[in-house]
Structure formats: C-alpha cells, structure tokens
Amino acid sequence: MPDGNGLILPNSCKVQPNSAMRRSTFLAARIAAYSTLTLGIWLGGLPLLTLAQIYQPPDRGLPGRREGGGTRGGCLSRQPTLTALMPDTNYGQTTSPYPTWLWYAPAIEAEAAEFVLLDSNGNEVYKATFDIANRPGIISLTLPATSNLPPLSVGEDYHWYFSLICDLNDRSADVYTEGWIQRIEPDTALSRELATADALERPSLYAAAGVWHDAIATLADLRRLQPDAAIVSDRWENLLESVGLEDLADQPFVQCCEQPAAESR
C-alpha cells in the first residue's frame, strides 16, 4: 500500500532466522528511496534560481575605490560612508549601451554630486553634476541615451568617478568612489536564457554570468516596484552579500541623479 507520500511500502516483512542481513539491506534501501523522494519533492517546490542569486565575478580586477574617501577633511563624518554597489575588484560588466550605477549615499551636507566617465584613453565621455538630498539611502544613475552621447563600445574599458562635492570652491575636500565598467556581448547561452526569463529570473541569470551592472540594476528595479515582496528582498540581500555589502541591504532607495544640474559630453 502507498504511504502518505505515495511511496509503495510492503504490507509485511517475513524474516527468516537466517535473513537478518537481507532484512537490514532491504530496510536501508527503503530508507534511502524515501529520503531521496522526500528531498526531490522539497527541492521541486522551490524556485531553483533562488539558489543561484550569487554573483560569479570575472577573473579580473582593476585599481579603484569602492568606499568613499577624500584627500583631506571633507563633509563626511559618519558611517557607513559613500559606497559604490560593486564588487571589491572595482570592475563590472554590462550588456547595456547605457548602463546603470548604484551607490549608497550617507546623510551628508554636500553641495552637489558629480559623475565623470572616461574612455580607455582617458578622454572625457560624459560629465554631470546633480543636486543631492541630505538623507541616507541607495541612489542610482543611468547613462542618458541621447543623440549627443554615443553608446558604450563593446570590449572597451571605461573609468568612472562619482563624487560628493563638499565645497565647490575646494574640490580637494571631495568624497569620491571610482571604478571600471566594460560593455560585453552576451554569449549564446545567456541570450537564449534571457529570451524566455521573467523579470524575477533575469537578475539571477546576469549574476551567474558575471554581468554585475545588469544584475544589480534589474534587481533594483524590482526592489523599487515591490519593496515589501519577501522573495525580492531576499534576492537583493543575497546579491549584496555575495560581494560583501550585506550591511547595506536594508537601506531605502532615495531619488537622485535623474535631472542633472549641469552636464557635458
């Protein structure tokens, strides 16, 4: 008769006096089968991508600064400091021609924020300054897709800086972060998976493929839209934890860097 889990068990076991070894082997096999079935049912009830919300970094690192610092003084006097939401290798990949960056910004009395993007030859590609609110939280900046700004070139390393300007007349007091980004073409396998993935699956696919900027940007979009969804919160925390930034997982999103006060290209 089947038990409650649908596993067929014998009605009885007639054990002969010389069958102790056969009986032990029989029971061990039944226990193993039951355990395997139970484990399969348990795993089958979970979204498999929940187990894959871990960033797998490319084998590459570049000089940079993930946590904000300045040459002297500055207007930052509390922790946590300005922090770029990126791996500690200071390098991230994207498939987007106009990618998104994210930072944690503390409550700080800065006069403005500034973003600068340089190409591989050190030429300025984009520069913009923004007003910034004096309240802590996660901020984001997306490179504007305008006719005056060409898309990032595939395979080229771009060097970026994001600064909180404490004194517009004395830039030596800036608190800044810096890192690198490279646009790549997704391989055939990733492209195929993305074509059929839903919004909740896409960040996991990017993370597993080592495409940091797309992983965190797509997950941040879900976090903004569904701030109370437990599965989105868990995946956000897992992704940040995979790069050592789990302490920032509970920080709220705050508005910044959408309308530049000034920009140049």
What's the pTM value of the predicted model, to 2 decimals? 0.76
Q: What is the Cα–Cα distance from 125 to 170, expressed in whole angstroms?
A: 24
Give the SS3 label for residue 223: helix
Task: Give the CATH fold of the 59-264 domain.
Answer: Immunoglobulin-like (2.60.40)
**Which H or E run contains 102?**
strand 100-105
Tell me the domain boundaries of the chain.
1-45, 59-264
pLDDT tens sequence for the chain (265 residues) = 444 444 333 343 333 444 444 444 433 444 333 333 333 333 333 344 444 467 777 776 666 667 776 545 567 666 788 999 999 999 999 999 999 999 999 887 788 899 999 999 999 999 999 988 778 999 999 999 986 899 999 999 999 999 999 888 888 888 899 999 999 999 999 999 999 999 999 999 999 999 999 999 999 999 999 999 999 999 999 999 999 999 999 999 998 876 666 666 6
Angle at 145 between CA 225 and CA 164, to 5 degrees: 70
pLDDT of residue 134: 77
pLDDT of residue 50: 41
- The letter for the amino acid at 209 is A
Q: What is the Cα–Cα distance from 125 to 118, expressed in whole angstroms?
A: 5
Q: What is the Cα–Cα distance from 78 to 158, expressed in whole angstroms?
A: 30
